Amino acid sequence: MSWFRRERRGVQPIQKKAIPDGLWKKCDLCGEILYVKELEKRLWTCAKCGNHFMISTQQYIEILADPGSFRETHTGLISGDPLQFKDLKKYRDRIREYHEKTGMEDAMVTGFASMDGRDVVLAIMDFSYMGGSMGSVVGEKFARAAQDAILRRRPLIALSRSGGARMQESIYSLMQMAKTAAMLSRMSEEGLPFISILTNPTTGGVTASFASLGDVIIAEPKALIGFAGPRVIQQTIRQDLPEGFQRSEFLLDHGMVDMIVPRDELRRTLEGLLDFMCARAASAPDQEVKDDSQSPAVS
Annotated domain spans of the chain: 20-53, 55-282
Strand 156-162 and strand 194-202: the pairing is parallel
All residues at 6 or more sequence positions from 144 whose CB lies less than 8 Å from its CB, including other chains: 73, 74, 110, 292, 295
Run of H or E including 37: helix 36-41
Q: Specify the pairing of strand 194-202 against strand 216-219.
A: parallel
Please tell me the distance from the alpha carbon of residue 85 to that of residue 95, in angstroms, as a whole number. 12
User: Residue 3: exposed, middle, or buried by beta-carbon count in 10 A (0-12, 13-18, 19+)?
Assistant: exposed
pLDDT value at 169 more than 70 = yes
The DSSP output letter for 223 is -
What per-residue confidence (pLDDT) applies to 12? 57
pLDDT in tens, 104-125: 999 999 999 999 999 999 999 9
Q: Is the pLDDT of residue 289 over 90?
A: no
pTM here?
0.86
The answer to whether 70 touches 122, Cβ cutoff 8 Å, is yes
pLDDT digits (tens, 9 = 90+) for 68-109: 999 999 999 999 898 999 999 999 999 999 999 999 999 999
**DSSP-assigned letter for residue 200:** E
CATH architecture of 55-282: Alpha-Beta Complex (3.90)
Cross-strand partners of 90:
86
What does the buried/exposed string (b/e) look like for 166-193 if buried means 16 or more CB atoms within 10 Å of the residue's CB? Answer: bebbeebbbebbebbeebbeebeeeebb
CA of 206: how far to CAs of 133, 209, 214, in Å? 8, 5, 12
Kindly tell me if the per-residue pLDDT of 31 is higher than 80: yes
Classify the C-alpha dihedral 153-110-46-206 as positive or negative.
negative
Q: Map residue 263 onto helix, strand or coil.
A: helix
